[in-house]
Amino acid sequence: MTTLSQSPLLGVGITVIAYVLGLALRKRIAWAHPLFICAGTLILFLTLANISYEDYRQGGDLIIFFLQPATVALGVPLYKHSHAIRRQWRGIVAAVLVGAVVGLASSAGIVWLLGGSRDLIISTMPKSVTAPIALELSQMLGGERELTAVLTVLTGLVGSMFGPWVLKRVGVRSDESIGAAIGTASHGIGTARIIRDSELQGAVGGVSMALCGIATAIFTIPLYYWLR
């Protein structure tokens, strides 16, 4: 068991099994998110089997390496619906800019009102952008990268699980609006969720995710000099 726990095959194997389990549960429970089930199963297994994260990461990093090129797949619906996006580009850009500002301000405000520390506020602020950007921004501002990583993943999961439902409940129906909202607030995980419902939603979500990352990085510059 010790030899197996130190092999990359362990991380790859249990991740694939956990994700397949998540897909199977989703067929029975419509709101269940495969990534949420997968993450929970992995945490439970590693805890019960007393396997360290460092040992699991040998296989986990291998999966991440092969998954990174899959992000390019978001460019396919973007190309197919480029005409629709160009027609709505002003509204999409405006929505993303407002969403980026609100995301930063609301995260900081909520944590501050709840009595959170300065480090917690900084670590929470960039949670709505994709993980690589969020981690760099957190480190630049002096936050905790590990905490930012957890919050970023949770933001994507929660947004992908409940975001489309909440938007429809408040009357947001158009594909462009849903895509802009989910892409801005829930980055890649949310975008991967809505693309199953509509390619146009996924295309707008991909554009919004990229624009939100750029806008958040720009808005963080004055924060960097203010917090120094």
* pLDDT tens digit at each of 228 positions of the chain: 555 555 677 778 888 899 899 888 888 887 777 888 888 888 898 888 888 777 787 777 777 777 767 667 777 888 888 898 999 999 999 999 999 999 999 988 999 999 988 888 899 999 989 888 898 898 888 888 888 888 998 898 888 888 888 998 999 989 999 999 999 999 888 888 888 888 899 999 989 999 999 999 999 888 877 766
Task: Give the alpha-carbon dihedral of 93, 99, 101, 104, to 10 degrees.
Answer: -140
Residues 120 and 196 in one domain: yes
Residues 136 and 53 in one domain: no
Assess contact for 78 and 85: CB atoms under 8 A. yes
224 closest CA partner among 150, 144, 143: 143
- pLDDT value, residue 33: 79
Residues 209 and 97 in one domain: yes
Residues 25 and 90 in one domain: no
- pLDDT value, residue 218: 92
* The domain boundary residue, chosen from 72, 100, 120: 72
Residues 215 and 123 in one domain: yes
Count of domains observed in the chain = 2
By CB atoms closer than 10 A (0-12, 13-18, 19+), residue 208 is: buried
Helix, strand, coil % in the chain, rounded to nearest 5: 85, 0, 15
Residues 150 and 200 in one domain: yes
Domain hosting residue 38, numbered range = 2-72
* The domain boundary residue, chosen from 23, 48, 72: 72
Residues 141 and 220 in one domain: yes
Residues 111 and 196 in one domain: yes
As a whole number of angstroms, the distance between CA 104 and CA 83 comes to: 31
Residues 105 and 187 in one domain: yes
Residues 119 and 88 in one domain: yes
As a whole number of angstroms, the distance between CA 6 and CA 136 comes to: 29
Q: In the structure encoding, which two tokens stand for residue 156, read together?
A: 């994507």
pTM for the structure as a whole: 0.81
As a whole number of angstroms, the distance between CA 52 and CA 30 comes to: 32
Residues 64 and 96 in one domain: no
- pLDDT value, residue 64: 72
* The domain boundary residue, chosen from 17, 42, 72: 72
Residues 115 and 50 in one domain: no
- pLDDT value, residue 208: 93
